[in-house]
Amino acid sequence: MQHAKKADRPNVGILGGSITGCAVAAELARAGCGVTVLERGGEEPKDRGAGIGLPPSLVETLVEHDLIDADVPHLDVHTFRHLVRDEREERYGLVLWEQPGNIAHFNWGALYRNLRRRVPEGAYQTGCKVTGLRESDHGTVAVTLAEGRTREFDLLVCADGYGSLGRRTLFPDSPVSYARYVLWRGAVEERLLSEVKPLEGTLCWPSYVGGHGPFFLVPGLDGSIAPGRRLVNWGLYLGVYEDERAELLTGSDPAAYDGPMPAAREAKLKAWVPEVLPEYFAEIVNKSSATHVQKVYESTVPAYRKGRICLAGDAGALARPHTGTGVLKGITDAIGLADALRAHPRLDDALTHWSDERTAHGNELVRLASQIGRALAAEIPGGPKADPAAKQKQFSSMVTVPSEVFAS
């Protein structure tokens, strides 16, 4: 593995210890930096069985960079199928159109554990709740912890997700915007379903008035891809008005990002699902338990760094989840930063080059996800009963950002 040039090998603090934080730590350590991961929780993030889709080109890059093992279990998707509930096809729905695709679906936990193993021993520190950060007069970054202690680093990378303290500190005029809908998410064990053939090699997107939802297979919690031991992940986008937020979230904090779906609301939604989804997909939802809700936000940023403080992953540009790019963007941010440090002897030159490239890319992803959200959640073209050719044409006219931005 190539190492950084001698001129600058900064001591780097990394705020946040999930997938992006671990990728940053692993990549920068190999570029010759000292790294310290500050995870606010008292333990490492837990696996809830969530699935993550990555383009094969990125998977190859991860293996080449030794960020994941070559044999990490995953399931390949080659078709994206758009469909609606219809009396002519009550069980599986009427297919409006199909798109060729190429996505590898991983279990979140397997991907995280692979990256976590690449973090240098002793660098991952839990229970580090950061309450403030600032650049000091002598060029370092001072990080204040909840207990009052201060840590100093040559460089700080904020990988602390959508509610990033780093973004709020650097760019207070770039707040996250609520898209006025939420993503209701769940997973169910394959063995509990009557069949999974409609999902083999396919990502299905049933549409309904007011939204759509992805349904796809992922490896099981133990990483198994054997039939009968996998999971089915799903999500449904639901329009939500301001006064309805509290009903969809637990806890007293109205700014909470996500949380378990309250039992009464879950029961109400499960009763509604058969009215809008084909029978097969309604069965998947109704056999799921412990579902979660995630409010949909977005934000662009003017830069990915200011001085010696950087943003990575969803702490930077925040795209709606329609493109599934949060993890992808975080990992490519990490790889790009390490590459920039190797290529530029001066730290400031490296950070400027990296920030310019990642800012443009991240903000373009926000535009793409916003357009997809408008087309499939906020303003479904022609309604779910539209003529397939007309629907596809209208969708194409609404989504103008080239999809190639997703894989770069």
CATH code at position 165: 3.50.50.60
> Which tokens belong to 88?
């002519």
Please write the tens of the pLDDT for every residue from 100-149: 888 999 999 999 999 999 999 999 999 999 999 999 888 899 999 998 99
Judged against a pLDDT cut of 90, whether residue 299 lies above it is answered with: yes
DSSP 237-283: EEE--GGGHHHH--SS-TT--EEEPPHHHHHHHHHHHHHHS-HHHHH
What's the confidence (pLDDT) of residue 247?
Answer: 57
Residue 53 lies in a domain: no
Range of the domain at 391: 63-106+177-297+371-407
Give the other-Cβ count within 10 Å of 198's Cβ.
Answer: 17
Both 291 and 396 in one domain: the answer is yes
Least reliable range by pLDDT among 16-25, 74-83, 244-253, 330-339: 244-253
Return the pLDDT at 100: 87
Return the CATH number at 217.
3.30.9.60
DSSP letter string, 347-407: HHHHHHHHHHHHHHHHHHHHHHHHHHHIIIIIS-TT-TTS-HHHHHHHHHHH--S-GGGGG
3-state helix, strand and coil shares in percent for the chain, rounded to the nearest 5: 35, 25, 35
Mark whether 313 and 352 lie in a shared domain.
Answer: yes
Both 268 and 312 in a single domain?
Answer: no
* Assigned domain for 6 exists: no
Q: Quick check: 358 pLDDT over 90?
A: yes
**pLDDT confidence of residue 269:** 87
pLDDT above 70: percentage of residues in the chain: 84
Do 236 and 115 reside in the same domain of the chain? Answer: no
Query: Which band of pLDDT confidence, cut at 50, 70 and 90, is reported for residue 260?
Result: confident
Higher pLDDT, 275 or 377: 275
For residue 236, pLDDT beyond 80: yes
Are residue 189 and residue 254 in the same domain, yes or no? yes
Identify which has the larger pLDDT, 305 or 253.
305
CA 70 to chain centre: 22
> Residues 149, 195: one domain?
no
Residues 337 and 333: their CA atoms lie apart, in Å, by 6
Contact 281, 212 (CB under 8 A): no
Looking at residue 48, what is its pLDDT?
61
Instruction: Using the predicted structure, report yes or no on whether residue 4 has a pLDDT greater than 50.
Output: no
Same domain? For 344 and 196 the reply is no
Measured between alpha carbons, how far is 260 from 263 in angstroms, rounded to an integer? 9
Of 42-51, 250-259, 278-287, 363-372, the least confident: 250-259
Which of 204-208, 237-241, 367-371 has the weakest average pLDDT?
Answer: 237-241
Residue 292 shares a structural domain with residue 354 = no
In the predicted model, what is the mean pLDDT of the chain? Answer: 85
Q: How many independent structural domains does the chain possess?
A: 2
Once rounded to an integer, what is the mean pLDDT over residues 4-14?
71
On whether both 227 and 140 belong to a single domain, the answer is: no
Residue 140 domain flag: yes
Residue 374 clears pLDDT 80, i.e. is over it: no
Q: Are residues 198 and 268 in the same domain?
A: yes
Summarize the confidence of residues 273-297 as an average pLDDT: 92
217 and 264 in a single domain? The answer is: yes
| 381 and 362 together in one domain | no
Flag whether pLDDT at 402 surpasses 60.
Answer: no
Share of the chain above pLDDT 90, in %: 59
- 141 - beta bridge partners? 135, 153
Tell whether 324 is covered by a domain. Answer: yes
Condensed to tens digits (0 to 9), the pLDDT of residues 40-93 reads 987 777 666 688 888 898 899 999 999 999 999 999 999 999 899 988 899 999
